[in-house]
Each structure stands twice: as C-alpha cells, then as structure tokens.
Structure 1
C-alpha cells in the first residue's frame, strides 16, 4: 500500500518526559524525508506543533484541519502548507480522513484516543480500508494495548478486528506494517446469533 499522506493524532501538550517531543519531531522529519504529506489537527502547540514544525523544517508538506472554536485554544498554525478551518470536530476528522492514506496516533489524551477509536471503528465498519496504527513511544500505549487484548479475551472484540489496529515501537516499524497492511475482506456486521 502506497502511503502518500498520513494523519497524525497527538497531544496539544508535551507531556512529562522529553522523549514524546523528541519522537514527535523525528516522526515529522521522517515523513517529510520519505515524501509523505502530514495531515494533523492544525495546532502550533504541544506535540501537534512539534510534528508539524519538524516536517516543515525538513521540506515536507503539512495540512492542518482545525475547527473555528479551537482556533484560540490550540492556536492554529499559520505557517503550514495548508490550513483548513471547519465547523465541527466531526468535520475535522472526516476531512483529515479524506486527505490521508493512513492514520497514526502518537501519545495524547482523551482527544487523541477519541480520534483514534473513531478511525478504527470506521475501518471496522468498512467505511475505509486505510491502516490505523499506534506508535507506542516509551511504552505509552502498552496498558491500552493490553486492555484491547482483554476486550478480545472477554468476547467483546473479534480477533480479526483487533488485528486491524497496528502497533509499532518505532516509526519505521509502524510505517512498514502500514505499507504491508491488507484490510480484511469482511467487515463487522451483526450476525444472527448476536441479536
């Protein structure tokens, strides 16, 4: 699968350890070096701003998508290649999805998780066939991954749907998994015995 453009979901803050900022910068730089356009939330603060600035500094193309009401809170990035202003959070995710061939979540909070889970749910429902991945920087997502595996163990998530969420410890590893991603032929539909 050719990855020309990737959505990055991540925090609008830096977190308590410098490794998140360092890795966000590395991700932005690597995407630019590989000719992969960055699509992100449009802010200039926190990890969001870091990944965008690193991509720009390396000569990359950066598209930001931000709702009007977040302009003052996330301080939209006016120096990126293209800034798209939308009305709602749903519009933001829809347009980001339309502009990308895949999705990666870096460390973040509720917003990052909400965006990630909406994208993987859309994939599960067959609304897109793009790879969705977690970059598990410094073990940030290890507990979440264990919980998702617990959902499978408890019979509330099918193993084939669990397999749709790719995980990488390095950006290189994750990009390779995404490039080789083969979406399942069958999507999640209610079966007779589930009614």
Structure 2
C-alpha cells in the first residue's frame, strides 16, 4: 500500500529530525544514569509505544484537532511536564541515602513493566510528537495509492522504528558510563541524583517551551 520511495523519503526525514537529541533522548539518558541499562531500555520501549500511539492518533484524524486546539495542547503539555518532574523527584529521593547500606537499598530499580508504562506515558503526553506527525506524515501519503488512513498508519512505523533504534544507542551508552559510578556508593548516588535533576529540568523546560505549532 505504501511504496519504497515513500518509506525511504520518510526515513530520511525522520533521521534528520531524530539525529538531533530532543526531550525523549534527555529523558532516556536521565533514566539510564539514575537506574541503569535495564530500566533505560524499558523506558525506550515504552516511549516507542507512546510514539506509535501518537502516530495512530494522527492517522485517524485527531492530530489535526490537537494542532488546532490551544486548550487541549496545553493540557497535554503541562500534564507531561508535571509527570516528568514527578519522575525526576522520585529518582532524586531514591538516591539521597548517605550510607552504603542505604545507597544499596535506594538504588533498587523499579520493575521493567512499570518503567515501560512510565515511558509510554511520557511519549503519549508529549504534544510535540503529535504535531510533528501531523506535519510530516501527510507529506508522504499518495491519495491514489489506497486508503489514506492505512497509509499513515504504516508510515508511522518508520519514525517509530528509527527512534527506537537511536534511543537504544543512547540508553546503552549512558548506562555504560554509569557502570563506572557503580563501583562507589557515593559516585552512584551522585550520578543517580544527576539523572533525577536532568529529568526535572526537562519537565520544567517542557512546561515553559514555546508552542511549536
């Protein structure tokens, strides 16, 4: 239903956009620094599903509604920002312990599925993803090639797959750096706190970011 030229063109556009680290990358790196590789990968998977949800929403026509509704846009925007701040504060509190025993206990990682759900919520509550899909996907639809909605659903898989691959690279790289810090409870606590601060900063930046529409 979609041609190779459509997929290739969208893949190129997606690479050019995704190559520049954005909020998702910063969130994933923050989670990797705070909790390690396993949790970072769970975050990547959840975030990818969140992006896929955005693609489905745009494909069925709700993306345009979000792009036009200032109230809905800001409700989702601030909900996502608040959730990021919450996750950042949680990471900070989990790494505040001063003693090695407390540090070991605090470094206990959340469950894989719970983390994936958190990543999904972050992806779904990022209105910029919806607006981006609404702006890009229609450019690669060929009206004469079949059902437009079906084409957009298939095309949405392209940036999701590319984003998943690049985010995994960031997750592995950040968690590898974290490995050095795990040799010392103090270093581990500091890098965990740094990850929490970065996620809080991302939430604040998201709240005060300009409207991209």
Could you state the TM-score of these two structures normalised by the residue count of structure 2? 0.22
Structure holding more strand per residue: 1
Structure holding more helix per residue: 2
Could you state the TM-score of these two structures normalised by the residue count of structure 1? 0.23
Q: Please tell me whether Structure 1 or Structure 2 has the larger radius of gyration of its CA atoms.
A: 2
